[in-house]
A and B are shown apart, each in its own frame.
Chain A
Amino acid sequence: MSTVAPITPMAGHEPDAPRRTTSEAAHAGLSSRWASVSAVVIALVWTVPTLGLFVSSFRPESDVKTSGWWEFFSSPDVTLDNYRAVISGSDTDLGTYLINSVVITIPSVLIPISLATLAAYAFAWMKFRGRNILFIAVFALQIVPIQVTMIPLLSAYVQPPFNLMPLAGSDAPGGGLYTIWLSHSIFALPLAIFLLHNFMREIPAELIESARVDGAGHVQIFRRIMLPLMMPAIAAFGIFQFLWVWNDLLVALVFGGGSLEISPLTVRLAELSGQRGQDWHLLSAGAFVSLAVPLIVFLSLQRYFVRGLLAGGVKG
């Protein structure tokens, strides 16, 4: 769909050139002066707030506190002091929380993926009684908001039944990180199983059947056929789960709440915003420390993300 040269003279100054395509007419009508103005206004409102904070993160403290960030363009004065202060400064220490975020996120993405691919395979290609009912049940559990599970889950971690080892508390294994990993995994499972199941069902049945006829067991089929074919779907779900966990505040607050030792960036940043709400030189740099990772992941893997979105991958 290559673009054609602008045909309406009025649209000559627009960023978008009219073309003969599906939505051409709708477009042409809207692409009066008003249309392009509104597109530009929307684009500005969606970028200027971020730009302002980004610019501020590189300005010296005194500038940030006494003049608007737009003045930067008339008197540019760049410093990395803010980043140095938030990452390694003893009072903010975002470096530690950055590590925490990584430590929380990686298992919280890998665990549900590994468990869900197995379960999704069983639902998609193994024959057993009650399969449909069980699958619908798992699917239906997507509607349970995490808020509903939090209080009982927390008390189960603190005082587990059957004298199991408590996962929260002062001498919990992994410093209490298991509560966060497990919670994120549990909340991800229904959607992960549902999405991966849908992708697996799209693989032609003949492929599986012929492998079966050749004497391959489910495990071989799973490893040799399913996993390689599933990689794009797994990537799509992986990105969702990554963004969800990295950006999460509620789960980290509730399950890691007691100890700042295992809190992620979001928790620390929210705290900073409350305690030092006027220290914009620190807040701006801090915000971008936490935004950098998801933005990089998102931009480099956007293709998979969009595919996942269109397949219904929205966490309820």
Chain B
Amino acid sequence: MTTTDKLLQMGIAVALFFGVMGVILVLTSRLRSRAGERLQTAAFLAPSLLLIAAGLLYPAIKTIYQSFYDAAGTGFVGLDNYQTIFTDSAQLQVLRNTAIWVILTPLAATFIGLVYAVLVDRAKFEKFAKALIFLPMAISLVGASIIWKFVYDYRGTDQNQIGVINQILKSLGVDTYRFLLTEPWNTFFLIVIMIWVQAGFAMTILSASIKAIPEDVMEAARLDGASALKMFRYITVPSIRPSLIVVLTTISISTLKVFDIVRTSTGGNFGTSVLAYEFYVQSFRSFNQGLGAALAVLIFVLVTPIVVYNIRQMRRIEAR
């Protein structure tokens, strides 16, 4: 396809969908009767509901069903795929890595985001200082991984370094280190990338909720002679607790689905694979549909309680 072709196709697709919307609006704009209004409601809802039913609901059910079938998706194998996930040594490593990711990333990103939000709160350069931490949120995880691969770049100790961390190690008189290849610590160095991306999100949400703490609460504590650290511990943190939970849970959900970082940085080699990456490999590289489906269902099962809890917390914040 040439560039013109692609742009043309894009125009057609957009026109098509706006056309559908326009037709719905025009056709139903004259309807005033009771039955007419019912038709109008259906016309407003139908396109979205159809897509959701066909593209989310049906596939989700189909995948759950598939997870009880073999690699080709034809023979029923019961719980074999799930048994593989929880017994096979390669899969167990995937689970272990995922657990480390999901525990460390939210905690570290939230902690850094919170500390930074408090430190720069109402500072002279607050906006600028925040933008620095915020920017990684705008870029792709592929881009972030490339940025950090460059930071981690390895050369022998006697060579000229081009990776900044190994240069620091070298100038401290320490041997250079293969950050992405050395198991098991390479997983931690990949996690650093995710923390780097997510801290901005934590900072934004927490900063907004720190600013929402009523002045008189702080004033009262101050008059009671509370020290700064005590106020942080006993006033600030409890006041923003619901936001803290939302931030922690939201980051855990994104972390559970992390795929791009592992694929770009190590390709899942050197013992760094995680659930979402393993799902991709099994489904679209090894063509083991059953195992792929089971891994997807496992992500689903792990995400669900976190999302439900998250939504409840959000409701609570809104209700205040």
Residues of A that sit less than 8 Å from B by CB: 1, 3, 14-17, 19, 21-31, 35-36, 38-39, 42-43, 45-50, 52-53, 56, 64-70, 96, 99-100, 102-103, 106-107, 110-111, 114-116, 118-119, 121-123, 126, 128, 134, 138, 141-153, 156, 174-175, 177-178, 181-183, 185-187, 189-190, 193, 217-220, 222-223, 243, 246-250, 253-254, 257, 261-262, 266, 269-270, 273-274, 277, 280, 283-284, 286-287, 290-291, 294-295, 297-299, 302, 306, 309-310, 312, 314, 316
Contact = CB atoms under 8 A, between A and B. Distances in A.
A16 B125 contact: yes
Contacts of A156: 54, 59
A107 B292 contact: no
A99 B129 contact: no
10 nearest A-B pairs in the assembled complex, by CB-CB distance: A29-B228, A16-B123, A186-B55, A247-B140, A149-B59, A298-B138, A152-B59, A219-B29, A119-B48, A122-B44
Given A106-B10, A149-B60, A126 B138 contact: no
A43 B129 contact: yes
A290 B257 contact: no
A249 to B, nearest CB: 5
Contact of A222 (B25, B54, B112): B25
A52 B56 contact: no
Given A153-B55, A156-B59, A249-B260, A42 B18 contact: no
A150 B59 contact: yes
B191 interface: no
B267 A30 contact: no
10 contacts: A26-B235, A53-B147, A99-B7, A115-B21, A143-B308, A151-B296, A177-B10, A187-B55, A189-B52, A270-B264
Nearest to B117: A23
Given A25-B228, A149-B55, A150-B296, A128 B122 contact: no
**For chain B, what secondary structure do more than half of its interface residues adopt (helix, strand, loop), or is it mixed?**
helix
B142 interface: yes
Interface stretch (B75-83, B88-96, B99-107, B156-164): B156-164
Interface size class of B (residues with CB under 8 A): 35 or more
A295 B162 contact: no
**For chain A, what secondary structure do more than half of its interface residues adopt (helix, strand, loop), or is it mixed?**
helix
B139 A295 contact: yes
B201 interface: yes
B221 interface: yes
A15 B116 CA distance: 13
A136 B30 CA distance: 30
Contacts of B37: 126, 218
